[in-house]
Amino acid sequence: DIQMTQSPSTLSASVGDRVTITCRASHSVNTWLAWYRQKPGKAPELLILEASNVASGVPSRFTGSGSGTEFTLTISNLQPDDFATYYCQQYNAYPRTFGGGTRVEIK
Amino acid sequence: QVQVVQSGAEVKKPGASVKISCEASGYAFTNHYIQWVRQAPGLGLEWMGIVNPDSGTTSYAQNFQDRVTMTTDTSARTVYMELRSLRLEDTAVYYCARGRSGGNSRSPLDIWGQGTMVTVSS
């Protein structure tokens, strides 16, 4: 199985900040990587697909980059809606695997 | 409106089975794979498996291989996930989600159900 490791596990930030979350894969997933945001009590929402493509309807403050085994999600100008938990997921191989999550909390 | 709607919460005893439904609407049902993901209380997302609603072909995570079955009723536009021999640690919210790319299993999940809470308790 491909292991996905996210860091940090928790991140404290303020509205307007720029934050970066890292996701590392134990084996190359090419660019078959997605990022999701999950608000408390809600289902995850797709933010980024194929490592760097912003999903339809997602604000441009979300950007993704990387390929192979190292990926980043950057959120510019953090908004109140963005205080949530973020997950990466590889969809290159079975089983599809998720990172452990990064909780973005209010400083 | 493109959506998938899941069945309601369940309470089961250890050793029992649960079957959750996931009804799709607003898109070509057989064109998009459906995947199942669960989330135990306070924990992260765990991928369970995938089903092709057109062919019925499945692939399951090793952790669930012996206990899970995912099936499709195309006339009802519904996918089902049955988990057997339930354990206390199966208590979780179970999500179905649609693969974004039509006809391609290598796809992120763009439409999620609302989640079904399954509580396993003696």
- Compare CB distances from B47 to A43, A45, A97 and report the shortest one's residue: A97
- Chain A contact probe: residue of B22, B36, B39, B45 with most A CBs at under 10 A: B45
B27-82 pLDDT per residue, tens: 999 999 999 999 999 999 999 999 999 999 999 999 999 999 999 999 999 999 99
Q: What is the DSSP string of B68-118?
A: EEEEEEGGGTEEEEEE-S--GGG-EEEEEEEESSTT-SS--EEEE---EEE
A37-66 pLDDT per residue, tens: 999 999 999 999 999 999 999 999 999 999
- Chain B contact probe: residue of A33, A73, A94, A98 with most B CBs at under 10 A: A94
Q: Which residues of chain A have pLDDT under 70?
A: none
